[in-house]
């Protein structure tokens, strides 16, 4: 059924209409684990930020519809400049990327001459272009280890991931003062209370969490690492300290296990990323139908940002 005022198919038909357009236009839908379960189920490929970048680099589709946040769409465009990259909502930012303006990051780098600049991919294309190498939470340890011991490192923009890596690898780094608003808001006291209610549950956490939260975790890792851990662990219950979208795949893999989304502070009990959740099936349909919003970046910026991205992909 079609909504005649807007020419948008009714809710039930939207997915079918999207799939028809996808076939007609030789498009592919890539979705991050933090998307709504319905969107994850529609996707041709679901993954963490590294796997999605790798997929974007190797797809032979003409159009990439990227259901995640804008910095991920930009990464896809940089590794696949010949493709059209569409995103459902250009307002899908990221607190890490937004709080690391390129001019300030450039001044920060200038204050620390001789340092190798390692940036978490959760940053703008401009910040990527200022970096020597990029990393995701999946490959960060490998990337840091690849840098000679005597070379000082600047790590940005996530101070929590940076200090987690510095401590784990015994490698002090100069950290940019940024954080993820979702992981920053998890409430330690409420997590401890939840643990008391479910004493058999294992706490698993993303390294974007502050150190005090990570101290409670049995396993720390990227979204894909957390997912793999829940598949392998003998535990039947988990307190999941990351964006709750990942629980969709955890439940699909092990419906008999129980997953508790970690509580955030009183101001927000949702543990959902407000940017990731801007994406809807209707917006996915519209962006593919109208081929907008499209990620476009200046050619020279893409060339500069590709260097540290390619270095990361080679090492991954």
Interface positions with ligand 13P (CB under 6 A) = 33, 48-50, 122, 136-138, 180, 208, 222-223
21-29, 73-81, 133-141, 271-279 -> range binding ligand SF4 (CB under 6 A)? 271-279
In the complex, what is the shortest distance from the CB of residue 310 to ligand SF4, in angstroms, rounded to a whole number? 23
Token pair of 210, please? 């502050």
- Does 70 interact with ligand SF4 (rule: CB under 6 A)? no
| Residue 82, SS3 per DSSP | coil
Which one of ligand SF4, ligand 13P, none interacts with residue 164, CB within 5 to 8 A by kind?
Answer: none
By the 8 A CB rule, do 296 and 81 touch?
Answer: no
Considering only residues 122 through 141, tell me which ones interact with ligand SF4, judged by CB under 6 A. Answer: 122
How many Å apart are CA 288 and CA 294, to the nearest integer?
10
- Does 69 interact with ligand SF4 (rule: CB under 6 A)? yes
Which one of ligand 13P, ligand SF4, none interacts with residue 100, CB within 5 to 8 A by kind?
Answer: none
Of 158, 165, 163, 202, the C-alpha closest to 184 is 158
What secondary structure letter does DSSP report for 122?
A: S
Measured between alpha carbons, how far is residue 282 from residues 7, 17, 62, 201 in Å?
11, 10, 21, 37
Nearer residue to ligand SF4 within complex by CB, 14 or 262:
262
Token pair of 173, please? 């780094």
- Does 96 interact with ligand SF4 (rule: CB under 6 A)? yes
Site residues for ligand SF4 per CB under 6 A: 34, 69, 94-96, 122, 180-182, 243, 273, 275-276
């Amino acid at each position: 059924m079609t909504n005649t005022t807007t020419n948008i198919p009714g809710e039930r038909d939207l997915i079918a209409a999207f799939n028809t357009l996808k076939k007609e236009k030789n498009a592919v839908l890539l979705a991050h684990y933090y998307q709504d379960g319905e969107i994850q189920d529609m996707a041709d490929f679901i993954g963490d930020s590294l796997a999605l970048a790798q997929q974007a680099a190797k797809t032979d589709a003409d159009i990439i519809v990227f259901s995640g946040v804008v910095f991920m769409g930009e990464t896809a465009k940089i590794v696949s400049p010949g493709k059209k990259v569409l995103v459902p909502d250009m307002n899908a930012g990221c607190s890490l990327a937004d709080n690391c303006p390129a001019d300030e990051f450039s001044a920060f780098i200038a204050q620390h001459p001789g340092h190798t600049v390692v940036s978490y991919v959760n940053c703008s294309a401009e910040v990527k272009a200022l970096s020597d190498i990029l990393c995701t939470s999946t490959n960060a340890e490998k990337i840091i280890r690849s840098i000679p011991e005597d070379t000082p490192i600047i790590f940005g923009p996530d101070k929590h991931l940076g200090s987690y890596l510095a401590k784990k690898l015994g490698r002090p780094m100069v950290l940019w003062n940024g954080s993820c608003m979702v992981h920053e808001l998890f409430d330690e006291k409420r997590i401890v209370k939840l643990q008391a209610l479910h004493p058999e549950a294992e706490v698993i956490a993303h390294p974007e969490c502050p150190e005090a939260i990570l101290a409670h975790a049995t396993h720390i890792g990227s979204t894909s690492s957390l997912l793999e851990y829940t598949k392998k662990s003998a535990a039947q219950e988990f307190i999941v300290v990351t964006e709750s979208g990942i629980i969709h795949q955890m439940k699909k893999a092990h419906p008999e296990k129980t997953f508790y989304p970690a509580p955030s502070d009183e101001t927000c009990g949702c543990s959902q990323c407000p940017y990731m959740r801007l994406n809807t099936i209707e917006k996915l349909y519209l962006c593919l139908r109208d081929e907008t919003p499209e990620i476009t970046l200046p050619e020279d910026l893409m060339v500069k940002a590709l260097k540290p991205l390619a270095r990361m992909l080679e090492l991954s």
